[in-house]
Amino acid sequence: MFGKIISFISVWAIPFLLFIVPLLAIKNKVKVYESFIDGAKGGFDVAVKIIPYLVAILVAIGMFRASGAMDIFVKLISPVTDFIGMPAETLPAALMRPLSGSGTLGLATELMKEHGPDSFAGRLVSTFFGSTETTFYVIAVYFGAVGIKKTRHAIPAGLIGDLAGLLAALFICKIVFVS
- Block mean pLDDT (10 aa), the chain, length 179: 82 93 91 87 81 78 83 87 91 88 87 93 94 89 84 93 96 87
Please choose, from the candidates 33, 55, 47, 1, the residue with its C-alpha nearest in 3D space to the C-alpha of residue 179.
1
Give me Rg for the CA atoms of the chain.
19
The Cα–Cα gap between 44 and 37 comes to 11
Dihedral (Cα; 89, 132, 148, 40), 10-degree rounding: 110
**CB neighbour list of residue 100: distance below 8 Å, 6 or more residues apart:** 57, 58, 61, 134, 137
Residue 92's pLDDT is what?
A: 87
DSSP string, 126-149: HHHHHHS--HHHHIIIIIHHHT--
Tell me the pTM. Answer: 0.70
CB 55 within 8 A of CB 149: no
CB 70 within 8 A of CB 92: yes
The Cα–Cα gap between 137 and 141 comes to 6
